[in-house]
Each structure stands twice: as structure tokens, then as C-alpha cells.
Amino acid sequence: MFNRFVSAYPLDPGTPSPPENIAPLRQVPGLAELVTMAAGCSFGDGLLRVFTDDEARRAQALANLMWPDWAPRTRPFAGDWTGRQYALDLHRGALLLLLDPGAAQIYELDGTIPELLDEFMTDDPDTFLAHHLFTAWRDRHPEPLPTGTCVGFRQPLFLGGAEDVENLEVIDEQVYWDLHGQLWAKVRDLPDGTSISGVDIS
């Protein structure tokens, strides 16, 4: 399991920190195997990080603030370098969600964890890992990302920000989600095409 993904994006140095009792995780295909291999570690030079229990709870809190209506159905288990979260969709069994604060979008994925890594991420890394941006970013910033940070969009995509390297910056992940959550709360009910001259974040 995960052979194709690990071949493309090797596990970065580190010691995994899975929960002591992984038996409940076996109800979800691939979850126990993934956290045993990589909880608290990343793949592909920081491309994807698998959450520890504490990190998953923190990610859950961030997602709940931005999308409170989705709180009963999301359980994050991993995050990518741009701050996006991958989560179990509790309303659809073992299927998944992609939570994207930069685009203010939740995407329902018709696949399981093994399919996500060994098929979706391996065959289409630009869509599922923003790998094209990652490569361009790493060319300019080869240093590792500090724990708890992500490379987020200065101007959110949902406010017209460009999906390019010039619009990226290293930022604390919680700050990134908080800021985007506040911005999204102010504009999400506006009609399409509304001109926005400024948004005040308190």
C-alpha cells in the first residue's frame, strides 16, 4: 500500500508518532497504515504531512471555524504544503474531502485514502498537491518549512489572487486559516461579480 506514492515522494526523515491504539482506525481503508508509517512526518520534502492526533484536532478546529456547517462531517488526517487539508467525509463512509482555505472551497473526492495517494496524487500531482507551484517555490526557497507553517496565498484566490509563486508567502498555518476564514465570512454571501475595494480584518 502507498508504494507508488512513496516511490514518487519518499518519506522525509523523522520518527512517526501514531496513536497508541490504531485499532479504531482500521475501519477506514488505509488510515491505520498511513498513520503508522507517517503520523507527524511528511513526504516529498514537505509536500504532504500526515497529522498526529494533536495536529488533527488543531486542523479540525481551523476547518470548523471557516466552515462550521461542515463540522459534523469532516475529520482531517493530512495537509499539504499550501495549508490545504485532506479529511475523512463522515457522511460518505470512507470517502474524502479536500478543504482549501485559499480558494474557500470544499471538494468532495470520490476515492479512499489508498486511491488518493497511489492514484490521484501520483497521477495528477498538480491538482492534488499543487506540485507545479511547489517546484517553482522550491527553486527560490530550498530551505525547509518550519513546523506549523504553510506556503499560503497573500491574496486569496477567492478575492482574485493569482495562483502563482509571486502570490505565495510562508505563514503560520493557524494565522493563514484564521485570516482566510475572516475574509470568507465577510464576502461569501455577496453576489457574484461584486466589486470589493477593501476588507477590514479585526
193 found inside a domain: no
197 found inside a domain: no
Query: 120-140, pLDDT tens digit by residue?
Result: 999 999 999 999 999 999 999
Look at residue 185 in the predicted model and tell me its pLDDT.
82
For residue 96, pLDDT beyond 70: yes
Q: What is the DSSP letter of 90?
A: G
Query: 28-39, pLDDT tens digit by residue?
Result: 999 999 999 999
Look at residue 199 in the predicted model and tell me its pLDDT.
45
151 found inside a domain: yes
Using a 10 angstrom Cβ sphere, with 0-12 exposed, 13-18 middle and 19 or more buried, the burial of residue 23 is exposed
Q: How far apart are CA 75 and CA 160, in angstroms?
A: 29
| Of 53-57, 59-63, 196-200, the least confident | 196-200
69 found inside a domain: yes
64 found inside a domain: yes
Query: 142-160, pLDDT tens digit by residue?
Result: 998 888 899 999 999 888 8
12 found inside a domain: yes
For residue 61, pLDDT beyond 80: yes
For residue 198, pLDDT beyond 80: no
Q: Which domain holds residue 29?
A: 3-187
Question: SS3 for 99-128, per residue?
Answer: EECCCCEEEEECCCHHHHHHHHHHHCHHHH
Q: Number of folded domains in the chain?
A: 1
- Average pLDDT of the chain, as a whole number: 91
196 found inside a domain: no
172 found inside a domain: yes
Query: 5-28, pLDDT tens digit by residue?
Result: 999 999 999 999 999 999 989 999
Tell me the average pLDDT across 106-124: 97
Look at residue 27 in the predicted model and tell me its pLDDT.
93
